[in-house]
Amino acid sequence: MRTLFNVSTGLLITLIAVGCSRTPPPPAADANVGVVTVEILSGDTDKRSIQVPDVADGATLESVMRMVEEVPVSVSGSGTTAFVDSIGDVQTDATQGWTFKVDGEFANQGIGQTVLHPPTTVTWSYGAFEMETP
């Protein structure tokens, strides 16, 4: 029960911190465009790679995830409160969910604030939320 409380508290703190941040401005109309590769890892061996063309330099990960058509993606909220609820038929719950890396690095902000510079690769993984305990 304490672990569930710690996870819930951690998620709440993360959402509050993300909500306090500002949403980046939209990319300029004349921004360069490129391809964003979205990799989805939903199991030990299941990997799917999707190419999203014509992504403007400076676009947010939120806008890119809303452009994905090859697999259903559910995004709730927008801007600083945007959150990926599910990819395909795999939904986030209290103990497991989707996390992402951009070009191999874990992001330190939400999808509505994560600015992309194509060409780039975003890798989504599903698994248990891990919280560091002192």
pLDDT tens, residue by residue, 101-132: 999 999 889 999 999 999 999 999 998 876 55
**pTM exceeding 0.85:** no
Nearest C-alpha neighbor of 48 from the set 66, 67, 64, 72? 72
How high does pLDDT run on average in the chain?
81
Does residue 10 carry a pLDDT above 60? no
Query: CA 57 to CA 34: how far, in whole Å?
Result: 7
Between residues 122 and 17, the one the model is more confident about: 122
- Percent of the chain topping pLDDT 70: 71
CA neighbor of 80 nearest in space, from 9, 10, 21, 34? 21
Give the phi and the psi of residue 115 in degrees, each rounded to 5: -95, 135
The 10 Å CB-count burial string (b at 16+, else e) for 66-76 is ebbeeeebebe
